Amino acid sequence: MVSMKRFSFSLVVVACAAALSFACVPTARAADPVVVMKTSEGTLEITLDPEHAPITVKNFLTYVDEKFYDGTLIYRDVQGFVAQGGGLSPQGSGKPEHAPIQDEAKNGLHNTKGTISMARTSDPDSATTQFFLNLADNSGSLDPNPMSPDGYAVFGKITKGLDVLDKIAALGGTDPMGPPSHTITIISVRRK
């Protein structure tokens, strides 16, 4: 009987030790950088994903740390699609940019509502400063697919302020390259 109690007690100790060790292991996701994007329509918090998009996150944070995005515009706003910004000032001119980065669209992340992705030209490795916020589930058209095998790289998601995203979406039109109905300014983007 004593050996059975000792065996049961040993199992309890081992189970508790295992549970405690799992509880103490921090998840990699907890360390993901968060940026606060203040716009004229409200504030968004965006959690970036360096695990799946390391090149893109590093590039974006370089511009954030340089305060590059301060005073730029959301200059394209298409209802049910995307809101694009990050490169144009109110005067319409771009700011100096670093070299383009490699496309990371095949990273397993999807262009769903509330995600942030890199804008680029027809060259998949041409992204620099501009990004877009997905206003809807665009995974069927903006993820790598037979019509667009390169896709657009998702590198984070809005974790606070989806109501602000909806406000931005409501200012958009149906023109695929059209501006919002009134100016939307990116006041600042900072690490949290």
pLDDT at position 89, please? 82
pLDDT at position 96, please? 87
Which residue is listed with tokens 């409501």?
A: 170
pLDDT at position 19, please? 39
pLDDT at position 184, please? 97
pTM over 0.85: no
Which residue is listed with tokens 């620099």?
A: 128
Q: What are phi and psi of 146, to 5 degrees?
A: -60, -35
Query: pLDDT per position in the chain (192 positions), as tens?
Result: 544 444 444 443 334 433 333 333 333 367 899 999 999 999 999 999 999 999 999 999 999 999 999 999 999 999 999 999 998 888 777 788 999 999 999 999 999 999 999 999 999 999 999 999 999 999 999 999 998 899 999 999 999 999 999 999 999 999 999 999 999 999 999 999
- The conformation of residue 96, written as its DSSP 8-state character, comes to P
* 122/78 Cα distance (integer angstroms): 19
Spatial CB neighbours of 71, under 8 Å, sequence gap ≥ 6: 89, 90, 185, 186, 187
- Taking domain 27-191, whether its CATH number is 2.40.100.10 is answered by yes
pLDDT at position 21, please? 37
